[in-house]
Amino acid sequence: MKEIRSKKDLEIVLSKLKGFEKPEINSEQYVTPSSIAAEVIWKAYFNEDVKNKKIADLGAGTGILGIGCLIMGAKDVFFIESDRKAMEICKENVARMKSEDSKLGGAFFYVEDVTEFNEPVNTVIMNPPFGTQKKHADREFLMKAFSVSNVVYSFHKTATEKYITNLALRNGFIKSESFMFDFMLKNTMRHHEKSKEFIKVSCLIFRKA
């Protein structure tokens, strides 16, 4: 792999990863756009939450967030994903990255529900379901993240930011930063009538108080 010298270099590598073959509506499967994944991982790197750290990617899907962390020097990354098919693609993506860079850290793949994961880590990075299909899906992810880590990077619909920030506070976590993005939901999910739809999504960073 070419040396990563900029956020753009990271984005280019991430843009070449394989995505979902048939996204599942009920699990709200979609890949975080590579530009947004690169932006957040770049930020996390300079916050010293990535290099030499143990990281969990909850609801890893095809792995873009965890793989970005491996590329930026994470010690170990745990990929947690309940969908076997998505995990196969995630493994394929990681194997390809490892074949290009033998110095990448450890990758561990757990096909399980997020509630079953119990490994303490330094940082959680996740783009969980927003709970539009399964109510409170995002809450389950957050509660797990707060129980295994002191630092959590998590994507949510901007409309729910206040609710999520309060939930964090009640669990002893303070929002230290937030970044807003426009996510384009392509018409990969049948229930979206318009061919293109944008929603405001924020990546929130929480730290244990």
What lies within 8 Å, CB to CB, of 205 at 6+ separation is: 47, 151, 152, 153, 175, 176, 177, 178
CA separation for the pair 206, 197 (Å, rounded): 28
Q: Provide the 10 A C-beta neighbour count for residue 87.
A: 21
Radius of gyration over every alpha carbon of the chain, rounded to an integer in angstroms: 16
Among positions 4, 86, 97, 107, the unique one binding ligand SAH when judged by CB under 6 A = 86
Q: How far is the CB of 154 from ligand SAH (least distance, A)?
A: 10
What lies within 8 Å, CB to CB, of 61 at 6+ separation is: 20, 29, 30, 31, 81, 83, 86, 90, 127
Q: How many residues bind ligand SAH (CB under 6 A)?
A: 22
Residue 149 binds to ligand SAH (criterion: CB under 6 A):
no
Token look-up 């049948």 returns 190
Q: How far is the CB of 209 from ligand SAH (least distance, A)?
A: 26
Decide whether 145 or 174 has the Cβ nearer to ligand SAH.
145
Decide whether 76 or 140 has the Cβ nearer to ligand SAH.
140
CA separation for the pair 209, 207 (Å, rounded): 6
Among positions 60, 69, 107, 168, the unique one binding ligand SAH when judged by CB under 6 A = 60
Decide whether 5 or 84 has the Cβ nearer to ligand SAH.
84
Q: Return the range that interacts with ligand SAH (CB under 6 A); candidates 40-48, 122-130, 162-170, 182-190.
A: 122-130
**Helix 161-170 crosses helix 137-148 at what angle (to 10 degrees)?**
40
Among positions 14, 17, 30, 77, the unique one binding ligand SAH when judged by CB under 6 A = 30
Among positions 11, 28, 49, 138, the unique one binding ligand SAH when judged by CB under 6 A = 28
Instruction: Tell me which residues touch ligand SAH (CB under 6 A).
Output: 27-32, 59-61, 64-65, 80-83, 86, 113-114, 127-129, 137
